[in-house]
Amino acid sequence: MATHTFTLHHDAFGRLVLTDAAGKAHVGVEPIRSFPISNPHQGISICDPQGREVAWVDNDSDLAPEVRSTLLKDLARREFTPILRRIIRISSFIEPADWLVETDRGTTTIRLKSDEDVRRMPNFRAMVVDAYGTRYLVPDTRSLEPATGRILERYL
């Protein structure tokens, strides 16, 4: 059941625009999930370019289908999170360190600023955040090859 009284679309410049019930267009809004990993469909804040909340979505299933589709596509683009499959090598165990890794998007080098950028998560998951803010998800640390598991465990 759609209960929200706003629409979403992208303008000619690719910016996300929220038009509220009063007809006011908020240009350049950004949707932000409250719980992107543990509960991605509940608690979505839509903020203007200054960071002020202009709309709140309790659950994305409450949205009209076209609004939900636009919102989820924008979130997917914003929340680019490659899956880390294997650590091929690291430059050093002292940070900053460069990691050559294999992801679901291919092989890349990521820079780790500190050991705090590797985080243990519930259900045997882990998150690695590189120096540029890109998050790499390890969906199940138990399924990693032994060498990668040992390296990762050193940071967890």
H-assigned helices in the chain: 65-78, 146-155
Given pLDDT bands bounded at 50, 70 and 90, which one contains residue 47? very high
Does the global pTM surpass 0.75?
A: no
- Most confidently modeled range among 9-13, 17-21, 36-40, 79-83: 17-21
Given pLDDT bands bounded at 50, 70 and 90, which one contains residue 38? confident
Residues in the chain, overall count: 156
Would you say 136 and 110 are in contact if contact means Cβ atoms under 8 Å apart? yes
Would you say 44 and 57 are in contact if contact means Cβ atoms under 8 Å apart? yes
Instruction: Return the pLDDT at 2.
Output: 46
Average pLDDT (50-59) is 92
Would you say the C-alpha torsion 138, 143, 148, 153 has a positive or negative sign? positive
Would you say 16 and 69 are in contact if contact means Cβ atoms under 8 Å apart? no
- Mean pLDDT for the chain overall: 89
Instruction: Return the pLDDT at 55.
Output: 93
Burial (CB count <10 Å: 0-12, 13-18, 19+), residue 18: buried
Burial (CB count <10 Å: 0-12, 13-18, 19+), residue 133: exposed
Would you say 89 and 100 are in contact if contact means Cβ atoms under 8 Å apart? yes
Would you say 53 and 45 are in contact if contact means Cβ atoms under 8 Å apart? yes
Structure tokens at 116: 């705090």
Type of residue at 105: R
Segments making up each domain of the chain, as ranges: 7-78, 84-155
- Over residues 109-145, the pLDDT tens digits come to 999 988 888 988 888 999 998 888 788 999 999 999 9
- Over residues 62-99, the pLDDT tens digits come to 999 999 999 998 888 777 789 999 999 999 888 899 99
Instruction: Return the pLDDT at 79.
Output: 76
